[in-house]
Amino acid sequence: MGKWVDGTGTLTVAAVGVPLEVAATYRARRRGLLGRDGIAGALLIVRTNSVHTFGMRFPIDVAYLDGSFTVRSVVTMRPGRLGMIRPRGRHVLEAEAGAMAGWGLKPGVRVRVSCGQVTEAPNRAG
């Protein structure tokens, strides 16, 4: 696996391509979607297994991914909430509430992440 970097890319769920932002550095991961009124697509926060929505302006869908980019769980979180830690989670996807259902994202689905310098394709059992 290559080194994760902040940037943009594409999230592929089945045949659906979704614009993606990647938060890899401490600063970008800490900021997440704070201070925004929405997001076109999704935000991938790498190397984390929990999130919060303190200071958020809108509800979000949160998908917890394992090391092979298989969705472990999907939850909708209102602002001001603390998400549960997912011990087998390795990465988190965030999007506006309702978006993930429209993409067909649910537990057991594998996603593909393609971005500038890193392409992660699932190649391990989850």
Using one digit for the tens of pLDDT, what is the confidence trace for 70-94?
999 999 999 999 999 999 999 999 9
- List helix spans (H) across the chain: 26-31, 99-103
pTM for this prediction: 0.88
In this prediction, residue 3 carries a pLDDT of 83
- What pairing do the DSSP bridges indicate for beta strands 91-96 and 60-65? antiparallel
Q: How confident is the model at residue 126 (pLDDT cuts 50, 70, 90)?
A: very low
Percent helix, strand and coil across the chain, each to the nearest 5: 10, 40, 50
In this prediction, residue 18 carries a pLDDT of 96
In this prediction, residue 2 carries a pLDDT of 61
